[in-house]
Structure 1
Amino acid sequence: MAEPMEVGSRKEKVLTWTEKYRPKTLDDIAHQDEVVTMLKGALQGKDLPHLLFYGPPGTGKTSAALAFCRQLFPKNIFHDRVLDLNASDERGIAVVRQKIRTFSKMSLGAGGAPENVQKLKIIILDEVDAMTREAQAAMRRVIEDYSKYTRFILICNYVSRLIAPVVSRCAKFRFKSLPAEVQVDRLRSICDAEGTPMSDDELHRVMEFAEGDLRRAVCTLQSLSPILKSGDESARACYLRGSSDTKLISEVCKSIPTASTQDIFKLTRVITKSCTGVSFIRHLFQQMIDEDVINDANIAVMGKLVATCEKRILDGCDLENNLLDFLLTLRETFA
């Protein structure tokens, strides 16, 4: 959350739209009925296991954890009872030893185990799949040693990147991708609240650009807002086209089977400058399926190629080199 900013003689909180419109209660969490039901039960009962929330980005994992903690603890003790860390920023073993273990050891009073959930402390670890295996092993020990007073809510996109001893100590809940109508309704409510006019078709294009990530869609809306209010229709159309540039994708579909290596070098530079790599690859893959360029005979090979290139880019490898390798391999597949 942003720090208060001095404006004239008073202070205002300047928030990103993702924070401003983040669900505040469990009832505001959309399309995740199973986990919401469980968390509501924990609010009323005495039992709360360690939790593991996993699934696609922008589906409400962090929002559900924070909403639960806000409803569980009054404001005056919230910061004493809840530690919220992003493990992708602090991914080494040091953060486990210095922050997590220290917070877990802090006593909330004498006596035995707490008699109800309201007496526990909660540690929310976001993007825990970015932690090193050594840090995960150290965290497993902390979970074991301090489970009497502390519960962990672990959040990740890829549960396969966690070590088995950590996964086995948590109750797992998979967050489902949000349906298109849920996303568009949410985006529409934000547009109305901010006075940012957008048609249903434009909202669908923003949603498709975000590829199911509602947080990314809201960020796109906020960055687009000044352009929409300016009335510049050409800028509006250019921005909304984004990385789903159908003309460029169509050109690749038609030319790649017969393109020379030099042509592919030039095409790679164009794609790198105008598109987001992963988004472009996914849109290209979908269009090639729609046009029957990819069919039952080659879909397994193509699927593996797309997945490999996408993983390399998401892991931080050079975008241009990976796109070049992708297009050259794609050409060889159809040779």
Structure 2
Amino acid sequence: MDSFLKTGKISKEDAPKTSSKELKPPPPPKPWVEKYRPKTVDDVVEQTEIVSVLKQVLAGADLPHFLFYGPPGTGKTSTILAAARQLFGTAYRDRILELNASDDRGIQVIRDKVKAFAQLTASGVRPDGTPCPPYKIIILDEADSMTNAAQAALRRTMEKETKTTRFCLICNYVSSIIEPLTSRCMKFRFKPLGMYMVQARLEMICKEEGVQYESKAIMKLVEICEGDLRQAITVLQSCARLKGRETITEQDIVDIGNLVPDALVTQLFESCKSGVYKQIEKVIENIIFEAYPSSQILTQLHKMLISDLDISDTAKSLISESIAECSARLQTGASEYIQMLNLCCSIADVFTTHEKSE
């Protein structure tokens, strides 16, 4: 205190002592999708072909350009990131350029970001002195959203910079990638994950996180995710945060997963079979007032249609076509109420004309 009166400053002896542990804030919680993302190629499940190729690359073989395509949540991005971590080690962050092509989809991005990064040279040594492959990897996620001009510009860059750069294109629909790009890449289709594999991974996460659950809840989650492990993990974490220490039930999965109650979908389907417009209108108004997503209603309605053995194949094909048209119109911003009415009237027309005639 005397030193402060003389100099106006607090000396080191008078300063309050704080331990180093108090200065370090706790690490922020990670989303479970990132926390349990595969760290090595061996952690990737049910994609045997690409895993075997990547193991050969890690053993010393050359890395080709890759094109990964398939449904979302099947491990496309996680696979190439896990391989890159094993290839580059401590130099991982400097050797990877990851772009989401759905955001950066124009030709100017290819000319600026991609081309500039591809022209950089890479040494064959890591910062710690160990040997490292002398190339970089550019990951273009959602590549099917790129314009044709951007894809054409990327083709030239892939040709010129192949000595120092490898490309990995990731997409859901390979038909949206131009032929000159697909011919330069080794193509791999990622299959939806099997039900038992998804169930085992979810149960492992519940065990690690101390989450209590009913067996029916996990099975319902596996059913609604349809092989999309990322969606399943996200819904599981949302339920765990909401329930806390309580047990997760099947109803919790239905509520968090934005599922429409099966009884309501059945009621809608039966009203279509009746062919009574007032009844159809009443059910649709109830659905709109409850704010259920129309896309989910169409998905569950289609599943119910396919599993109904009393409906002929011809009627199923006609109704499925109407469902597809309704889904396309809803994605362009059409009115949910009008499109659902139109769909249900079309279904009723199929039942009244086709089914009764048979």
TM category (shorter chain) comes to 0.7 to 0.9
Indicate whether 1:303 and 2:317 are aligned: no
> Against the structure 1 CA distance between its residues 278 and 252, is the aligned structure 2 distance closer, same or farther, given a 3 Å change threshold?
same
Aligned with 2:59 (options 40, 44, 69): 44
> 1:235 Cα deviation (Å)?
7.1
**Number of the residue aligned with 1:257:** 273
Distance 1:252 1:188 in 2: 35
SS in 1 for 2:159: helix
1:265-304 → structure 2 map (5 Å cutoff): 267-272=283-288, 273-292=290-309, 294-304=311-321
> 1:46 Cα deviation (Å)?
3.3
Indicate whether 1:185 and 2:184 are aligned: no
> 1:187 Cα deviation (Å)?
0.5
Distance 1:54 1:94 in 2: 24
Indicate whether 1:243 and 2:259 are aligned: yes
1:306-321 → structure 2 map (5 Å cutoff): 306-311=323-328, 313=330, 317-318=333-334, 320=336
1:315-330 → structure 2 map (5 Å cutoff): 317-318=333-334, 320=336, 322-330=339-347
Distance 1:218 1:237 in 2: 12
Indicate whether 1:203 and 2:218 are aligned: yes
1:220-235 → structure 2 map (5 Å cutoff): 220-229=235-244, 231=246
**Number of the residue aligned with 1:100:** 114
SS in 2 for 1:152: strand
**Number of the residue aligned with 1:68:** 83
Deviation by residue 1:99-156 (Cα, 9 ceiling, x = unmatched): 111111112269xxxxx98111101111111112222122122212211211111111
Indicate whether 1:333 and 2:350 are aligned: yes
Q: Which amino acid aligns with 1:247?
A: A
**Number of the residue aligned with 1:176:** 191
The answer to whether the Cα contact below 8 Å between 1:48 and 1:117 also exists between their aligned partners in 2 is: no
Q: Which amino acid aligns with 1:239?
A: D
**Number of the residue aligned with 2:162:** 147
SS in 1 for 2:236: helix
Indicate whether 1:16 and 2:31 are aligned: yes
- Which segments of structure 1 move beyond 6 Å, counting only runs of 4 or more? 232-235
Distance 1:117 1:318 in 2: 53
SS in 1 for 2:313: coil
The answer to whether the Cα contact below 8 Å between 1:227 and 1:235 also exists between their aligned partners in 2 is: no
Taking structure 2 as the reference length, the TM-score comes to 0.81
> 1:86 Cα deviation (Å)?
1.2
Q: Which amino acid aligns with 2:116?
A: T
Deviation by residue 1:158-209 (Cα, 9 ceiling, x = unmatched): 1111111111111100111111000000000111111111122111111222
> 1:11 Cα deviation (Å)?
4.8
Percentage identity across paired residues of the two chains: 39
Distance 1:311 1:120 in 2: 43
The answer to whether the Cα contact below 8 Å between 1:128 and 1:155 also exists between their aligned partners in 2 is: yes
Q: In terms of mean alpha carbon deviation, does 269-278 or 177-186 score higher? A: 269-278
Taking structure 1 as the reference length, the TM-score comes to 0.86
> 1:326 Cα deviation (Å)?
3.3
The answer to whether the Cα contact below 8 Å between 1:243 and 1:274 also exists between their aligned partners in 2 is: no
State the structure with more CA Rg: 2
- The higher-RCO structure (CA 8 Å, 6+ apart) is 1
Q: In terms of mean alpha carbon deviation, does 294-303 or 180-189 score higher? A: 294-303
The answer to whether the Cα contact below 8 Å between 1:26 and 1:40 also exists between their aligned partners in 2 is: yes
Distance 2:118 2:253 in 1: 51
Distance 1:193 1:211 in 2: 23
> Against the structure 1 CA distance between its residues 206 and 125, is the aligned structure 2 distance closer, same or farther, given a 3 Å change threshold?
same
**Number of the residue aligned with 1:3:** none
> Against the structure 1 CA distance between its residues 86 and 231, is the aligned structure 2 distance closer, same or farther, given a 3 Å change threshold?
same
Q: In terms of mean alpha carbon deviation, does 123-132 or 253-262 score higher? A: 253-262
Indicate whether 1:164 and 2:170 are aligned: no
SS in 2 for 1:10: coil
Distance 2:257 2:63 in 1: 46
Distance 1:192 1:214 in 2: 17
Indicate whether 1:78 and 2:95 are aligned: no
